């Protein structure tokens, strides 16, 4: 009986020692992973669906540290990150007496609803902008079903938790926020697999305001369409060769309403911008010019109905943007064209007295 009691006591002591050692190891590992030198060697943890998110967050933190805050936040898909230069936007406004700081939060693979999700769960909280500028294209408005819209997020760490209805999701998110060990979980697998970027970002430099110019060439893209013999060429995807009508656009406008609500609930002013695409997407089809004009009219009517501001630099005419020299592909502009477009966009903001007042209010 005595030996059994002693054995039991010794066993408990061994378990306590093992538990204490485990806690010390975990604590030491947590501290080690927070050392700048360690992160410099192994890199930051991959927490989002693409590295561009964390790169922009780091740039945003630097801007906030140096400038004190963000006035204007641009959000949307890859055409935002490649086509809008905050430096050009700010400089154009400053030349007219409006001083502000803008930031580019455009991300590849974004549709309207994912943009709303990122606004709600990330950008509005960390950037705290006075003005949210969301850009859309034709394919965004008539585009994907919600389930398809969120497909790019499957490989992220945060995004599945944002979408989850599980009661454990907030707990898991809190652990991901606070623990380096949780953040770096799966690092060895990532190092061994070394997957390529799903969004072609490798080698593209993101500047310290989030601008990420593309280096593709439109003539290469045209050859790709020719070699692959894609029917309809650049208009083949997302229904550019189909009609623009209420049935196809209703879901897109419904999603935009959700984005507006999220932005306005935060106290930000919401601005809707039509992003020009290569004119061939519309004009190679009979009635394409009228279809594009109908699309822009629908955006304008929507903005009026929702009480938000709308900016369209094309005036409903896409023919000016049928110039190959402006585009790296059928969606993304060349670096020089993107900077020129940004200056035109900024001038359009200044031309609207109410919008100018909003921008100058900071």
Is 346 in contact with 339 (CB distance < 8 Å)? no
Q: Examine the pLDDT at 165 and tell me if it is beyond 80.
A: yes
Share the mean pLDDT of the chain: 83
Query: Which H or E run contains 306?
Result: helix 288-306
Superfamily of domain 50-153+195-360: SGNH hydrolase (3.40.50.1110)
Q: Are strands 269-274 and 72-75 parallel, antiparallel or unpaired?
A: unpaired
Q: What is the mean pLDDT of residues 165-194?
A: 73
Residue-wise pLDDT tens digits, 54-98: 889 999 999 999 988 999 999 999 999 999 999 999 999 999 999
- Full-model pTM: 0.85
Minimum mean pLDDT among 18-32, 88-102, 164-178, 179-193: which range? Answer: 179-193
Q: What is the mean pLDDT of residues 2-7?
A: 58
Minimum mean pLDDT among 19-23, 95-99, 355-359: which range? Answer: 19-23
Q: What is the mean pLDDT of residues 152-157?
A: 85
Residue-wise pLDDT tens digits, 273-290: 999 998 888 888 788 889
Q: Examine the pLDDT at 3 and tell me if it is beyond 60.
A: no
Give 318's DSSP letter.
Answer: -
Q: What is the mean pLDDT of residues 301-330?
A: 91
In this prediction, residue 256 has a pLDDT band, given cuts at 50, 70 and 90, of very high
Q: Examine the pLDDT at 168 and tell me if it is beyond 80.
A: yes
Q: Examine the pLDDT at 32 and tell me if it is beyond 50.
A: yes
pLDDT computed for residue 322 by the predictor? 85
Is 127 in contact with 56 (CB distance < 8 Å)? no
Answer with the residue of higher pLDDT: 248 or 296: 296
CA–CA separation, 81 and 63 (whole Å) = 17
* pLDDT above 90: percentage of residues in the chain: 46
Candidates 158, 131, 168; CA nearest to 270 is: 131
Q: 149-184 as b/e, with b when 16 or more CB fall inside 10 Å?
A: bbebbeebbbbbbbeeeeeeeeebbeebeeebebbb
Is 184 in contact with 33 (CB distance < 8 Å)? yes
The C-alpha angle with vertex 175 and arms to 170 and 179, in degrees rounded to 5, equals 160
Give the tokens for residue 191. 């190092």
pLDDT computed for residue 93 by the predictor? 97
Is 279 in contact with 319 (CB distance < 8 Å)? yes
Answer with the residue of higher pLDDT: 7 or 194: 7
pLDDT computed for residue 254 by the predictor? 94
Is 56 in contact with 210 (CB distance < 8 Å)? yes
Is 146 in contact with 185 (CB distance < 8 Å)? no
In this prediction, residue 302 has a pLDDT band, given cuts at 50, 70 and 90, of very high
CA–CA separation, 149 and 76 (whole Å) = 13
Q: Examine the pLDDT at 304 and tell me if it is beyond 90.
A: yes
Candidates 47, 51, 49, 58; CA nearest to 172 is: 47
Q: Examine the pLDDT at 299 and tell me if it is beyond 70.
A: yes
Beta strands in 41-84 (DSSP E): 72-75
pLDDT computed for residue 203 by the predictor? 45
pLDDT computed for residue 197 by the predictor? 41
């Amino acid at each position: 009986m005595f030996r059994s009691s002693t054995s039991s006591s010794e066993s408990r002591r061994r378990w306590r020692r093992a538990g204490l050692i485990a806690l010390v190891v975990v604590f030491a590992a947590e501290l080690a992973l927070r050392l700048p030198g360690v992160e410099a060697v192994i890199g930051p943890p991959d927490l989002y669906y693409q590295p561009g998110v964390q790169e922009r967050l780091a740039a945003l933190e630097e801007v906030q540290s140096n400038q004190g805050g963000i006035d204007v936040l641009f959000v949307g898909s890859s055409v935002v990150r490649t086509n809008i230069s905050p430096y050009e936007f700010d400089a154009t406004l400053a030349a007219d007496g409006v001083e502000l700081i803008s930031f580019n939060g455009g991300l590849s693979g974004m549709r309207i609803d994912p943009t709303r999700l990122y606004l709600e769960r990330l950008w509005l909280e960390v950037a705290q902008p006075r003005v949210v500028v969301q850009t859309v294209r034709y394919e965004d408005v008539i585009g994907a079903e919600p389930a398809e819209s969120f497909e790019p997020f499957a490989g992220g760490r945060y995004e599945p938790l944002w979408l989850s209805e599980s009661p454990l999701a907030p707990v898991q998110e809190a652990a991901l926020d606070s623990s380096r060990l949780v953040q770096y979980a799966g690092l060895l697998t990532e190092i061994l697999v070394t997957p390529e970027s799903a969004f072609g970002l490798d080698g593209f430099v993101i500047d310290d305001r989030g601008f990420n110019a593309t280096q593709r060439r439109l003539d290469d893209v045209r050859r790709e369409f020719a070699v692959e013999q894609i029917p309809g060429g650049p208009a083949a995807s997302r229904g550019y060769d189909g009609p623009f009508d209420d049935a196809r656009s209703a879901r897109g406008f419904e999603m935009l309403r959700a984005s507006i609500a999220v932005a306005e609930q935060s106290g930000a002013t919401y601005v809707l911008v039509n992003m020009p695409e290569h004119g061939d997407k519309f004009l190679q089809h009979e009635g394409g010019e009228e279809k594009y004009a109908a699309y822009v009219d629908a955006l304008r009517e929507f903005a009026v109905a929702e009480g938000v501001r709308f900016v369209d630099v094309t005036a409903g005419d896409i023919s000016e943007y049928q110039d190959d020299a402006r585009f790296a592909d059928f969606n993304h502009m060349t670096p020089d064209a993107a900077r020129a477009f940004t200056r035109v966009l900024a001038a359009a903001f200044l031309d609207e007295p109410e919008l100018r007042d909003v921008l100058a209010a900071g």
